[in-house]
Amino acid sequence: MGISEKMGDVLSQAVEAKLFREVMEHDIQPKHLAIIMDGNRRFAWRSNLATHVGHRIGKQRLEAVLDWVLELGIPWFTVYALSTENLNRPEKELKTLFKLYIDGLKSIADDPRIHENNVRVQIIGHRDLLPKDVNDAIDYAESETKDYGDFVFTVCLAYGAREEMIRAIQNIADLHAKGDLPLESITQDTVSEHLYTAEMPDPDLVIRTSGEERISNFLLWQMAYSELYFTDVFWPSFKKKDLLKAVQTYQMRKRRFGE
C-alpha cells in the first residue's frame, strides 16, 4: 500500500470516527432500523463476478452491519432478505440463496456476539413457501435465541407486505364472522396486532441500497410514518460511514407524523 493510500485510509477512519461521535451524541436515536438490502446481483455483474459471489459478499456485509447496529445501540433491526416475488428467480440462484440462509442462520445462532448482546433472532414471512432445510435452520436460530430481548434481529424471508395484510384481513374477518370481534372494535391497532410484526414497533428509519427509490412490497402498513433514506451504494459495498450518514440524516429530520 502506497503512502497516498495509507493517508486516504487514515482520513477515512477519522471521518468515520467523527460521524460516529456525532450520531451517538445526538438526542434523537432510532429505536427500529429497517434495511432493504438491494444490489447483490448488480454488484457482481459490474465487478465481473458470478451472481452467487455477489450474494455471498452480501451475506458477509449483513454480518458487519449487524455489528454496527449493535454498536449504535439500536434495539430493533429488520432486513428484507427475500421477497415472495424473489421466489420466481431461477432455481439455481434460489438454491444458492437458500444455502446462504441456512449457513447464515446456523452461524448467527452459534455466534458468541449474539449471546453476549442478548440478541433475539426471528424470521417473518410466508414460511410455507420455503424448503424444509431452511425452516429447520429458522427453528434452530429462533430457539437458540428465544430468551433474549435486549436486541431483536428480524429477517424477512419469503415476505410480501400485501400478502401479510391479506392474511391479517382474513384473520380479522374470521373473528368478526364468529362474533368474537364487533365491527366497531376493528381499529388500526387491531390490524397491527394481526401482522407478522405484531410485537414490534414500526420502523423509524428505512434504508434502501442500490439507487432504487421504491419500497417493493416491504412493511407497507408499518412504514406509514417511517423516514426513508435511499443510497446509490450496492449492498455488498455498504460501509459503516454509509450507515452513519443515514442515521445522521434521520436525526436531522423533523418527524411530523402527519401533523
On whether residue 191 sits in a domain, the answer given is no
Domain membership flag for residue 64:
yes
Alpha carbon 75 to chain centroid, angstroms: 13
Domain with 222, as residue range(s), is 30-160+203-250
CB 217 within 8 A of CB 156: no
Report yes or no on 18 lying in a domain.
no
Has residue 66 been placed in a domain? Answer: yes
Local confidence band at 11 (pLDDT 50, 70, 90 cut-offs):
confident
pLDDT at 3: 64
For the chain, the average pLDDT equals 95
C-alpha cell at 134: 431452511
How high is the pLDDT of residue 254?
A: 77
Give the CATH number, domain containing residue 140: 3.40.1180.10
Asked whether the beta carbons of 225 and 219 are under 8 A apart, the reply is no
- Residues noted as catalytic: 38, 86
pLDDT of residue 2: 64
Residue 120 to residue 114: CA distance in whole angstroms: 8
Question: For the segment 117-151, what is each residue's pLDDT rounded down to a tens digit?
Answer: 999 999 999 999 999 999 999 999 999 999 999 99
Please determine, for residue 4, whether its predicted confidence score (pLDDT) is greater than 90.
Answer: no
177 domain residue, yes or no = no
Per DSSP, what are the bridge partners of residue 119?
Answer: 151
| pLDDT tens column, 169-197 | 999 999 999 999 999 999 999 999 999 99
Confidence at residue 10, expressed as pLDDT on a 0 to 100 scale: 75
Q: How many domains does the chain divide into?
A: 1
Q: Does residue 149 fall inside a structural domain?
A: yes
CA angle (215, 251, 202) in 5-degree steps: 45
* Domain presence at residue 195: no
Q: What is the pLDDT of residues 61-106, one digit of tens each?
A: 999 999 999 999 999 999 999 999 999 999 999 999 999 999 999 9
pLDDT at 7: 57
Residue 60 CB contacts under 8 Å (≥ 6 apart), including other chains: 236
Say how many residues make up the chain: 259
Give backbone dihedrals phi and psi of 243, rounded to 5 degrees, phi first.
-65, -45
Does residue 255 form part of some domain? no
Q: Which residue has the higher pLDDT, 7 or 130?
A: 130
pLDDT at 47: 96
Mean pLDDT confidence for 33-51:
96
| Residues 6+ positions from 155 with CB-CB distance below 8 Å | 78, 79, 81, 105, 121, 122, 123, 124
